[in-house]
Amino acid sequence: MGEYLKVRIIFNFSFKRNLIFIFIGSPLYLAARCVTKQNFALEIGLISQEINMRWTMAPKPPVEKVRSLSKQLNVDPVIASLLIQRGVETFEEAKKFFRPSLDELHDPFLMRDMEAAVTRIERAISVGENILVYGDYDVDGTTSVALVSSYLKTFYPNVATYIPDRYEEGYGISYQGIDFAHDNDFSLIIALDCGIKAIDKVAYATQKNIDFVICDHHRPGAQLPKAVAVLDPKRDDCEYPYKELCGCGVGFKLVQALGSRRGQNIQDLLLFLDLVATAIGADIVPITGENRILAHYGLQVINRQPRTGFQAILEQVKKTTLTITDVVFIIAPRINAAGRMKHGNHAVALLTETDLATATRYAAEIEQFNTERRATDSAITEEALQQILDQNEENRNTTVVYQENWHKGVIGIVASRLTETYYRPTLVFTKSGEKLAASARSVSGFDVYNALEGCAAHIEQFGGHKYAAGLTLLEKDYEAFKEAFERVVSETIDPKLLQPEMKIDCEINFSEITPKFYRILKQFAPFGPGNMTPVFMSRNIYDTGWGKCVGEDKSHLRITAQQGKIGPAFVGIGFGMAEKEPVACGGKPFKAAYVIDENEWQGNVSLQLRLRDIRE
């Protein structure tokens, strides 16, 4: 980890083939990728001067606050300190944190336009109108559509779903989707995870006597669409207490409001929370407040009573108990793969299917889509890295790359890969019809949405969040946009944000790491933005002599760590940290940043350190 070196060396061997070595990694150890038509890869070690990741220690809470909370809860001061860092300062707040309660969910009618949304949907049902549930093709969108449509179908039959084609229609509400609704006699569209900027589309629908109820969570523009109702907690005039719901979360609040009118309580809607938890994890929204409650109970549903579609996915990967991290890395990519490689309808079909045999067939198809997705994003990432090198753009403050044939379904993933490599705001463009479409990704602390607003003169359309966005522009404007984006970012970004950061919660001694300490730490879950897994730092650590590089390619570091050569020893595993072996195993003391987790081996469970970084 740390700052990156990029070196391009051309060799011409006797077999008349040029080999391009792309070195990517920390200066201490560079992984060299040898790119040929056969995609042959090798690794070499290269010793150079080490440049460490930027470590940031969280501010220590006031001693009196820590002492008071520690006494109230009868917990270690370290636990009290971690809670205060997360905004938990009293016994009652701690109770809500450790024991999330469905009673703490907010009244859905506090959301602006909720009354109008429910009234319009009830009127549609009372007179037998056809309702089209419309959503984006990513995880948040498809889970939203699955949730709202399956809920409505429990008591009303005239409901259908629509997911726009990523390639023919693009993101959000489309004219083609509205035409479909008109041609098939749908007079009400419930739009989920999209629509907040669809001013012209909603006006077009109005001309065709089609009403819209919009449920979105993206930032609104200066003007709102003239829909019957616009549910979005980020509206300036919306006083809903929690602003960070995902699209599926907004959809659930609509279902909660509809259910309350039918005499249903939250327990009657509990089984829908598996979809909400999945969207919360996949959309990387803060797992705080209401999201924490929804994720907590949604995970319980996934693990105790998974819907048929989830059950089919989990059988494919042979996984039982899931954490929010498992949802992000196991379930979400597979749901996403349908919209990326084929069509989002496949994901909705899987998520709403009740027959296990059928769901298993759908899951097998989606597994194949996911396999294709992995191969495609790997190949495009390689081409994008090569383009950066060919254009000598390693030293810019932004990454902007374009190739007209890149698969539109994976450019967001590629943007994330490039951000991991060069650690700077990144856009990956491809051709989409007559225009160019891009996915944007940012680095921690920098608002890429604001940066795009600064380049609006060169953009046709854009939307998104602080760390992820999408946009379209005309091909003739690409170069001007690229330079404008570089200029805006360079003028506004704090230079330290261009170096990877290791955020450390607090410093502890190994003697404080006990089974009881870890049992309480586990109750901090579910983890995510706003409540990340606690990262600790300890000094004066020695390897007891058993440290070595492990794994098939020897890219991981395994040590047995002891503090000051006395006291308890813990196994430490650092994935992808082989370059740290000289520091950890050189016989000299070092300090380490790590998280605490469990290792199970042959029926024995022990605490271990999952290493994040090591320094002399």
Residue type, 59: P
Burial class (CB in 10 A: 0-12, 13-18, 19+), 566: exposed
According to the model, what pLDDT value does residue 15 have? 33
Cα 25 from Cα 579, distance rounded (Å) = 9
Least confident of 50-64, 198-212, 247-261, 558-572: 50-64
Beta strands in 446-603 (DSSP E): 461-464, 468-474, 501-504, 506-507, 536-543, 548-550, 556-563, 566-574, 590-601
Inform me whether the pLDDT recorded for 603 exceeds 90: no
Query: Band of the pLDDT at 223, cuts 50, 70, 90?
Result: very high
| Range in 274-278, 488-492, 539-543, 564-568 the model is least confident about | 564-568
- pLDDT over 70 (residue 162): yes
For CA atoms 365, 367, 373, 379, the dihedral sign is negative
Burial-class residue 516 by CB neighbours within 10 Å (0-12, 13-18, 19+).
exposed
Nearest to 340 by CA among 535, 219, 96, 165: 165
- Helices marked H in 391-522 — which ranges? 411-422, 448-453, 478-492, 515-522
**Distance separating alpha carbons of residues 613 and 537, to the nearest angstrom:** 9
Task: Label residue 46 by pLDDT band (50, 70, 90).
Answer: very low
pLDDT at 1 over 90: no
What fold, for 103-267?
inorganic pyrophosphatase (n-terminal core) (3.90.1640)
* Rounded Cα gap, residues 8 and 24, in angstroms: 10
Is domain 504-615 classified as CATH 3.40.50.1970? no
Q: How confident is the model at residue 52 (pLDDT cuts 50, 70, 90)?
A: low
Per-residue pLDDT tens for 430-466?
998 899 999 999 999 999 999 999 999 999 989 888 8
At 23 the pLDDT is 36
What average pLDDT does the chain have? 89
Q: CA–CA distance from 105 to each of 87, 261, 265, 281 (Å)?
A: 18, 17, 12, 18
Extents of the domains making up the chain = 5-51, 103-267, 391-499, 504-615
- By three-state DSSP, how is residue 116 classified? helix
Predicted pLDDT at 600: 81
How much is the average pLDDT of 593-598? 95
More confident residue, 383 or 604: 383
pTM here is 0.84
pLDDT band at 228 (very low <50, low <70, confident <90, very high): very high
pLDDT, residue 48, reads 29
pLDDT at position 539: 96
pLDDT digits (tens, 9 = 90+) for 81-123: 999 999 999 999 999 999 999 999 999 999 999 999 999 999 9
391-499 topology per CATH = Diaminopimelate Epimerase; Chain A, domain 1 (3.10.310)
Lowest mean pLDDT among 162-171, 197-206, 565-574: 162-171
Residues 169-209 pLDDT 10s: 888 899 999 999 999 999 999 999 999 999 999 999 999 99
What pLDDT does 17 receive? 33
Sign of the alpha-carbon torsion through 319, 604, 507, 542: negative
CA nearest to 581, candidates 548, 551, 616: 548
Cβ neighbours of 607 (radius 10 Å): 16
Separation between Cα atoms, residue 388 and residue 384, nearest integer Å: 6
pLDDT of residue 19: 36
What is the dihedral sign for C-alpha 184, 190, 192, 197?
Answer: positive
